[in-house]
């Protein structure tokens, strides 16, 4: 006999309902307003209970990143919980009408949002501050006669939609004044991070195909799977989440996919990243905040851009909701499972609600289309919630998935063999850098950790350190890697760029070998007196075939500035330079240094590990 959940849950007190993989779990308990992530663990240990929590976006400040807002972490100490099959829950909920009072109103108009996108492309992407950033806007409205029956009916409609990772209804009920109650309700398609047992898991999702007309779907799906823009978009997101995995799971792991995921009225592409659990779950959650798909890249720079352009708090949009499991002892940490708070509305007891939506803005985004897309995302959620959008039929049949499996798999042939084939065992078996010490200077881009893992596999002892914390005099490294980062490498008014030049000066004085990647390459070129200029067109997030050290290579680029071949460069007979078709210096070798304009560590760099390995072996000889 199926239990009636309404006999179990008191909806006049705080509650939470989370559905995942066809099971719906109901939680009841007290809600605590917490300041920091560590308080979640402390609360769990103190009360010996699981914690259901919702993080605000401002929690990213724990990483030292910019964010507007002062909302608390909402943490429920679970007193009671029960689980039912999704079908049983759907059957128990009454379907009542959802009526909106008037239209949803955006925080900024479509025209102003399109202009914002244009300004962003000119100043932020063109200025080398980011390769992509998600800039959102808020849509506000009111539900007439909001009560628990209306909330549950909305939740029922969301349960009927297809493909979400987690369906959520988090009720921060104000028992003394119900009109001040707060609810988070939505169907989020994306896992953020899961730290369970010995594994750490992330699932980067990108690329969107609207299902629309079923008769043309198969033809459009094939075109979608071959679209370079959609392919590159997914590769960029994989790069971003690989940076995170490089921090939270530094011992490596596996990449599975790509896969197709059908979510409501759209189809996405995704990979699954699985690494070994190497740090406690709360620290892993902290170091992964927030998902690259809702912040951008490089993440710290993207967070600054969001604060600059959005101007108001995101509240809980783009952060995480999840469950922290009670640890067995106070000195260890429990498991955590989180989803991204997107396609989610924040509602209040008086019926007022907000839906926030945006997209990853890149070099070739069309401003007017981005305005339409952000509106469509918000309206799409409300369409499902009100019942005006009919639940979409399944388009991705088993036969269709099988038909396009090989086309999807072909993508991996253009990706880094190092990352796709268990981190290149032919290099690991030789350990040619055994006992070698390498310091990587992180110029505010966690690609540094991917570089670090790549070098570790060759046997080296690797340290990653921030630019401002690096002291050449106190470092005994055999090779120093100057990593990627945002910004103009010639701007000596920028403290990081000035420090980078000081580092290069000291390394050269001490005859210490160095490798520059992206910004590091540009900084070395600038130090050598070569011209470094802003590109007419950025190459942010592009896979290109170029000649490096005499061989054609397929490599990933994330650039807005580059050294260029001028008369001064032509006169430098002491430098070996490789140029692209635009006269940009994409690789150089000089006295005890090598520079790469591209990112050998990127998953888009099919030949990246080989190029990196050869450079390190050259510099190893010079370090003797």
Per-residue pLDDT at 481 exceeds 90: yes
Q: Picking from 37-41, 159-163, 239-243, which range would have the lowest pLDDT averaged per residue?
A: 159-163
Q: Which is nearest to 200 in space by CA: 338, 25, 43?
A: 338
pLDDT given for residue 10 in this prediction: 92
Find out whether 519 and 484 touch, Cβ atoms under 8 Å: yes
Nearest one of 385, 381, 353 to 140, comparing CA atoms = 353
| 424 or 205: which leads in pLDDT | 205
Domain residue spans of the chain: 5-411, 420-622
**Predicted pLDDT of residue 422:** 59
Q: Fold for 5-411, please state it.
A: Anthranilate synthase (3.60.120)
35 and 321 Cβ atoms separated by less than 8 Å: no
What is the C-alpha separation between 117 and 360, in angstroms, rounded? 10
Give the model confidence (pLDDT) of 511-557 as tens digits: 999 999 999 999 999 999 999 999 998 898 899 999 999 999 999 99
According to the model, what pLDDT value does residue 426 have?
47
Reply yes or no: is the peptide bond before residue 258 cis, omega within 30 of 0.
yes
Lowest mean pLDDT among 19-23, 208-212, 292-296, 584-588: 208-212
For 420-622, CATH number? 3.40.50.880
The tokens describing 553, both together, are: 């290579």
Whether pLDDT at 7 is above 90: no
**pLDDT per position as a tens digit, 489-523:** 999 999 999 999 999 999 999 999 999 999 999 99
Q: 465 near 451, Cβ under 8 Å?
A: no
Half-sphere exposure of 257 (CA within 13 A, CB side): 21
Cβ atoms of residues 314 and 61 within 8 Å: no
pLDDT of residue 75: 99
Between CA 282 and CA 334 the distance in angstroms is 9
β-bridge partners, 569: none
Question: How much is the average pLDDT of 379-397?
Answer: 78
Cis peptide before 290 (omega within 30 of 0): yes
Residues 575 and 521 sit within 8 Å (Cβ to Cβ): no
CA atoms within 13 A on the CB side of 123: 11
Residue-wise DSSP of 335-361:
-EEEEE--SEEEEETTSEEEEEEEEEE
Q: Is the separation of the CB atoms in 83 and 325 below 8 Å?
A: no
d(CA 119, CA 104): 26
d(CA 182, CA 179): 9
198 versus 382: the higher-pLDDT residue is 198
What end-to-end distance do the CA atoms of the chain give, in Å?
76
410-437 burial code (b ≥16 CB/10 A, e <16):
ebbeebbbbbbeebbeebeeeeebeebb
DSSP-assigned letters across all residues of 238-279: HHHHHHHHHHH-TT-EEEEEEEEEEETTEEEEEEEEEEE--S
CA distance 34 to 62: 13
Q: Could you give the angle at the alpha carbon of 239 between the alpha carbons of 520 and 471, nearest 5°?
A: 30
Angle (deg, nearest 10), helices 110-120 and 367-386: 130
Q: Can you tell me the mean pLDDT for 187-203?
A: 93
């Amino acid at each position: 006999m199926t239990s009636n959940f309404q006999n179990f849950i008191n909806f006049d007190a705080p509650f939470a309902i989370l559905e995942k993989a066809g099971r719906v779990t109901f939680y009841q308990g007290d809600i605590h307003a917490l300041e920091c992530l560590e308080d979640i663990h402390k609360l769990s240990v103190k009360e010996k209970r699981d914690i259901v929590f919702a993080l605000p976006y401002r929690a990213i400040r724990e990483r030292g990143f910019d964010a507007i807002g002062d909302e608390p972490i909402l943490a429920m100490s679970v007193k009671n919980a029960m689980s039912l099959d999704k079908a049983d829950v759907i059957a128990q909920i009454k379907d009542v009408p959802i009526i909106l009072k008037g239209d949803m109103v955006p925080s900024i108009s479509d025209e102003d949002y399109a202009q914002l996108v244009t300004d962003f492309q000119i100043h932020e992407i063109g200025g080398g501050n980011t390769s992509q950033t998600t800039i959102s806007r808020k849509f506000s409205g009111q539900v007439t006669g909001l009560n628990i029956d209306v909330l549950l009916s909305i939740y029922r409609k969301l349960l009927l939609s297809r493909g979400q990772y987690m369906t959520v209804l988090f009720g921060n009920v104000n028992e003394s004044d119900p009109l001040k109650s707060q609810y988070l309700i939505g169907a989020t398609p994306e896992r953020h991070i899961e730290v369970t047992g010995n594994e750490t898991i992330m699932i980067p999702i990108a690329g969107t195909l609207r299902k629309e007309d079923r008769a043309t779907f198969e033809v459009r799906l094939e075109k979608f799977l071959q679209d370079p823009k959609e392919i590159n978009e997914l590769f960029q997101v994989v790069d971003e989440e690989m940076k995170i995995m490089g921090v939270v799971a530094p011992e490596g792991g596996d990449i599975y996919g790509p896969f197709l995921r059908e979510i409501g009225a759209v189809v996405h592409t995704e990979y699954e990243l699985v690494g070994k659990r190497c740090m406690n779950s709360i620290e892993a959650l902290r170091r992964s905040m927030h998902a690259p798909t809702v912040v951008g890249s490089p993440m710290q720079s993207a967070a600054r851009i969001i604060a600059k352009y959005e101007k108001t708090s995101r509240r809980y949009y783009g952060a995480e909701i999840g469950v922290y499991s009670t640890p067995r002892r106070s000195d260890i940490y429990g498991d955590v499972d989180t989803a991204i708070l997107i396609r989610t509305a924040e509602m209040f007891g008086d019926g007022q609600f907000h839906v926030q939506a945006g997209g990853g803005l890149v070099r070739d985004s069309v401003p007017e289309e981005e305005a339409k897309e952000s509106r469509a995302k918000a309206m799409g959620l409300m369409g499902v919630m009100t019942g005006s959008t009919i639940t979409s039929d399944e388009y991705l049949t088993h036969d269709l998935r099988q038909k396009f499996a090989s086309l999807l798999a072909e993508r991996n042939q253009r990706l880094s063999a190092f990352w796709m084939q268990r981190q290149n065992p032919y290099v690991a078996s030789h350990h040619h850098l055994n006992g070698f010490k390498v310091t990587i200077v992180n110029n505010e881009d966690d690609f540094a950790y991917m570089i670090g893992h790549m070098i570790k596999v060759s046997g080296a002892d690797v340290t990653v350190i921030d630019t401002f914390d690096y002291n050449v005099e106190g470092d005994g490294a055999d090779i120093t890697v100057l990593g990627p980062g945002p910004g103009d490498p010639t701007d000596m008014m920028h403290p990081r760029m000035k420090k980078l030049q000081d580092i290069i000066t000291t390394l050269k004085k001490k005859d210490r070998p160095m490798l520059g990647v992206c910004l590091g390459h540009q900084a070395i070129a600038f130090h050598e007196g070569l011209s470094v200029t802003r590109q007419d067109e950025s190459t942010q997030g592009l896979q290109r075939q170029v000649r490096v050290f005499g061989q054609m290579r397929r490599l990933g680029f994330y650039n807005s500035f580059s050294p260029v071949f001028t008369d001064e460069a032509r006169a430098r007979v002491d430098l070996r330079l490789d140029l692209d078709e635009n006269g940009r210096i994409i690789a150089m070798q000089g006295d005890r240094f090598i520079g790469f304009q591209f990112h050998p560590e990127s998953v888009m760099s099919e030949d990246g590990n080989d190029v990196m390995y050869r450079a390190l072996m050259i510099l190893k000889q010079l370090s003797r």
